[in-house]
Amino acid sequence: MPADLTAEDAKLVTLARAARARTRAAEGAAVRDTDGRTYAACTVQLDTVLLSALQLAVAMAVSSGVKGIEAAAVVTDHEAAQLDVEVVRYFGGAALPVVVADGNGEVRDVVHT
């Protein structure tokens, strides 16, 4: 992991990786709320529903009543979708880090909302 990745952000990558591995999903994601709690999820792809892992992680946080999000991570073999960043921006605000890592947990990029 890059030296500038905080321990808390590295934890998000670990949680996202674990969520992805449990279900062998296309993506895993995790978000940290402003109280320091974390929420992890994986891609849900059914015949009638498609939710990215990050969309679902944000939805889980929102449904738990959090006031805001301070960081997120996505583990995927693809580039981070713009929609995912927009979901974090909409709920968490501007300039939040979204760590993008590959399936091995190697950080490829850190984008900001």
What's the confidence (pLDDT) of residue 74?
A: 94
As a three-state string, the secondary structure of 63-101 is HCCCCCEEEEEEEECCCCCHHHHHHHHHHHCCCCEEEEE
pLDDT by residue (tens digit) across 12-70? 999 999 999 999 998 999 999 999 999 999 999 999 999 999 999 999 999 999 989 99
CA distance 7 to 21: 21
Q: 10 phi and psi, to 5 degrees?
A: -65, -35
CA distance 25 to 61: 20
Q: What are the structural domains, with CATH classification, of the chain? A: 7-112 (3.40.140.10)
Of 8, 4, 27, give the one whose Cα is nearest residue 103. 27
